[in-house]
Structures are given as C-alpha cells and as structure tokens.
Structure 1
Amino acid sequence: MSSGNSKLLVSCKNKSGAEKHYLPALEAAGWTGPTLLVAPGDPAPDLAGAAGLLLTGGYDIHPRHWDADEPVHSKAEVDAERDDFELPLIRAAWERNLPILGICRGEQILNVALGGSMIQDVPDHYGCEDTRHQHGTPEVPDMHHRVQLAPGSRLRSLLGEDVFLVNSRHHQAVKRVAPPLVAVGWHLDTAHPDTGPIIEAVEAADPKRWVFGVQWHPENLVNLKGPAGDAARDLFAAFVEALG
C-alpha cells in the first residue's frame, strides 16, 4: 500500500543500517510508496507531503530534555545531535496528526518529545544484571524475555497477542510517560518499588491517533515463525495501513 506520492519519513543515525534492517520489514508489510531516510545533518524534512514517521533505534537521549539538573549517567552514550534533529521533527509530526511508530530509541525519544522522562540506566535503576536487556544482534535476535500487553489496549488489538517473547537491546527505558501517551506493555520480571515494572510499549491516549512505541526490535523478528514473528509482522502491517 502507498499513499499516492506521500513519502514515509524514516529517521535514523545510519542510513545504510536503516536500509538493511527497517526498509525490508516495511516493504514486506506492503509499503510501496516513496521512503525518505533522514539523519542528523540533513535539512529538516518538509512534512507537508509526509505519510508518516518511523523512528529507528540508536544511542541515548540527553537528560537535559526532561530535567535540566539531571547529570548524564556514566553508562550513557548520548547522541545530542540526533536529539536536536528528532525532537522538533516528532513534535511537528504530532501536530500534523501523522502516524508515528517508534522503535527502541524511537519509543524513548517519542516519549521525551511529548513531555516524558527516561531511566538512564536500567541495571542501575532496577538493580538487575547488566546483561538482562542486552542480548543478540540485528542479524541474530535473541528472544530473551516476555512482554505483557494491556488487555484493552489498541496495541494488543493490533498484535493479537497478550504475552509474547521479544528481543532486547537497550539500557535506557521510559520512566515518566508523556501526558499524551499511555503505557501498554511491560516486562513484569524487571520492576522497581517506585516506578513499577519496566515499560516496554506506549500508545497515544487519543484513539484517533496512530502513534505507538515499542522497546524491542520488531524489524529483526519479521521473518520468525511463532507469536513473536506474528506480532512483528502485524505491527508493520498496521503501520503501513495507517499510512494510507
């Protein structure tokens, strides 16, 4: 499916990586329209002809974007240039009510752009082992832990699964959910007495908006058999359908 000449914007750090790992998932889901890869250093894209926005994975977000006084964590690898490129892009896409899909860092920067905050280091915050959420590669995904979706959520309806295994390659996570979003997915085995279980998925509170973010990497799972592959394919198919 494509939306006439409307282009899909894919925001990334490395365009060749996005072409290798994200575009095949979109094409397999039926996207046949034009795709524009944008990265820090590019001119701000014109959203007037955009069908939607995909936010890809990458490095960490600077804490100044949610708290001017919070220092950068010693384990954080901040990509300030990408922050500065993506934050206004996300807000502009939100203002235009474009479909937005955020993946891993993409979910995180979506949350920050709309007023949320982040846990800068998962092992430090949750007191878990350093490797709990750092497994596998894009080429060889390690199906490492389960995600529980909220039964009444739109994401649950789109993916057709309540609980399924996901891959996990991150050390930051959503802390305070942005006011226009709601948390709809969790890894229940990583929890904190103050912040609850680690958030694995968010969606727009307004059901008229197609805006979702997931902490795992479904682009690496679309060729798998079983519930995880089904959920990944369903997510991209729903995104492509929303693009019109």
Structure 2
Amino acid sequence: MSSGNSNLLVSCKNKSGAEKHYVPALKAAGWTGPILLVAPGDPVPDLAEVAGLLLTGGDDIHPRHWDEAEAIHPKADVDDGRDAFEIPLIRAAWERQLPILGICRGEQILNVALGGSMVQDIPDHYGCEPTRHQHGTPEIPDMRHRVQLAPGSRLRALLGEDVFLVNSRHHQAVKRVAPGLAAVGWHLDTVHPVTGPLIEAVEATDPARWVFGVQWHPENLVNLKGPAGDAARDLFAAFVQSLKQGQD
C-alpha cells in the first residue's frame, strides 16, 4: 500500500452518523487505511492523496442542477450546501478515475454531477402510495421491496444476485441517467408510462471505471443473514478491493 493515495474519502452531512453507519461497514469489508470524513464547510481535500470516494445518504438535490427552470417540489428538502460541495468533488474524482460508491442521495448526486436528472417526488411522479419507498430506520432496516439487477451488468456480477430485498428510505430517484452511467437496477413494481420502472442502481459504462450507485442503504444491511446481507457485504468488499488495487 503506497502512502500517496491511502485515504478513503467519505462525503457526508453528519460525521457522527457516517462514523456510526458507514465506517463499520468499510472496516468490516477490509479497509484498514485512514478514513477522511468531509462535510460542507470543510476544506476540499487533495485528491492526489485519496484512494476513492464514498457518497453517503442525505437530503434532496436542488433541481437547478439539471434544469434551471424546474421548481423545487413542495415535498423536497434540498441541501444546497452538500450540492455545492459534492458536485465539484464528484467531477474531480471522476476525472482522476477514482473508485466512487454512491449510496441513496450519493447515487442521486453522482448522477446529477455527471449530467443526469432526478424525479423530485416518487409518489407524485409514479402515482404510488407515499410510503412505498419510505420504510424503517438505519438501526432497524425494513425490507419492503425487491431490486432487479440487469443480468449482464457488472453490479450483478459483483453482488452475485439477480433479485433481492432491500431497505428503502427515499422519495426522489434517478430520472435521466447521466452520460457515462447506465441504469442496471430497478424496482419493477414502481413504473411510469414514459420514464419506465424506478431506477435503483447505476454503474459506469466504462468497465475500466469502478463507479457504482445504489438507491438503497447497504450500510444498514451488512450484519443481516441471507441474500440482502450477502449483497451488501459483497458491495463493500468490492469497493475496498478496488481501492486497494488503485494503490498497487
């Protein structure tokens, strides 16, 4: 392991929450290097010293980042500070071809930073009940719906599962997928006649890039038995492996 790029960068809003929920999953997956938690207001770290970037969950993204004319949805709770901090950070990490893992909001801001758009409110857009994608807590994951992965996708190969239950705590979702990314996971029971099924996972189209985003919260599932726990552990293990390979 070289000392040059030994830091794992974790972008978050609440450092104590990240320390509690994300750091243990990374350590359990075998990451032994330094973990830098950064939040809006912190100095932007030197990416020459960073092995990879984890984007954590959080509040909503302002629609001006994909359409200046789109109004904020009444149910949206935007986090301007994180938008301003994370979008340039993601673009810089992408330019350096660093491994990137986006979780929930992290998947969404990854997509927006690279040129995609969002559904601002799932119940409004898909016409489903308000609670369909809002269940459980970080401490008590409530497994309510299945994710279907694309059979030929790299994410499917990493996780070893086609279909598995996930926890779900979000009211926004990826709409137009960014150039450089592809949708590779869906909730097939939440469907819009124009935009299709709700997107649950994205990955870089370039196989040389280790860049993945998932809409669920695998950091809360790593201690579970069964396919959902297996998939969560496999995701973090693959991320850590990609970080170590980048240091060789």
TM-score between the two structures when normalised by the length of structure 1: 0.99
Give distance in 1, aligned partners of 2:177 and 2:2. 31
Q: Which residue of 1 aligns with 2:147?
A: 147
Equivalent positions of 1:34-49 (< 5 A) are 34-49=34-49
Q: Report the RMSD for the aligned CA atoms in angstroms.
A: 0.7
Contact kept? 1:4, 1:33, Cα under 8 Å: no
Measure how far apart 1:3 and its partner are: 5.6
2:15 aligned with 1:11, yes or no?
no
Measure how far apart 1:142 and its partner are: 0.2
Measure how far apart 1:45 and its partner are: 1.0
Question: Matched residue of 1:27: which SS?
Answer: helix
2:137 aligned with 1:134, yes or no?
no
Equivalent positions of 1:87-236 (< 5 A) are 87-236=87-236
Aligned letter for 1:229?
G
Contact kept? 1:148, 1:163, Cα under 8 Å: yes
Aligned letter for 2:114?
L
Measure how far apart 1:65 and its partner are: 0.1
Give CA deviations for 1:215-234 in whole Å, capped at 9, x if unaligned.
Answer: 00000000000000000000
Question: Identity of counterpart residues, as a percentage?
Answer: 84
Give CA deviations for 1:87-115 in whole Å, capped at 9, x if unaligned.
Answer: 00000000000000000000000000000
Give distance in 2, aligned partners of 1:46 and 1:90. 13
Contact kept? 1:3, 1:51, Cα under 8 Å: no
Give distance in 2, aligned partners of 1:95 and 1:21. 28
Measure how far apart 1:135 and its partner are: 0.1
Give CA deviations for 1:180-220 in whole Å, capped at 9, x if unaligned.
Answer: 10000000000000000000000000000000000000000
Measure how far apart 1:4 and its partner are: 4.2
Give distance in 2, aligned partners of 1:86 and 1:144. 30
Structure 1 pair 3–210 and aligned structure 2 pair: CA distance change class (3 A): farther
Question: Matched residue of 1:69: which SS?
Answer: coil
Contact kept? 1:147, 1:165, Cα under 8 Å: yes
Equivalent positions of 1:17-56 (< 5 A) are 17-56=17-56
Structure 1 pair 128–3 and aligned structure 2 pair: CA distance change class (3 A): farther
Give distance in 1, aligned partners of 2:158 and 2:18. 24
Give distance in 1, aligned partners of 2:31 and 2:150. 28
TM-score between the two structures when normalised by the length of structure 2: 0.97
Aligned letter for 1:117?
S
Matched positions, count: 243
Give distance in 2, aligned partners of 1:17 and 1:41. 17
Unpaired stretches in structure 2, ≥5 consecutive residues: none
Equivalent positions of 1:69-84 (< 5 A) are 69-84=69-84
2:61 aligned with 1:61, yes or no?
yes
Contact kept? 1:29, 1:237, Cα under 8 Å: yes
Give distance in 1, aligned partners of 2:130 and 2:44. 37
Aligned letter for 2:203?
E
Give distance in 2, aligned partners of 1:112 and 1:67. 10
Contact kept? 1:3, 1:243, Cα under 8 Å: no
Measure how far apart 1:239 and its partner are: 0.1
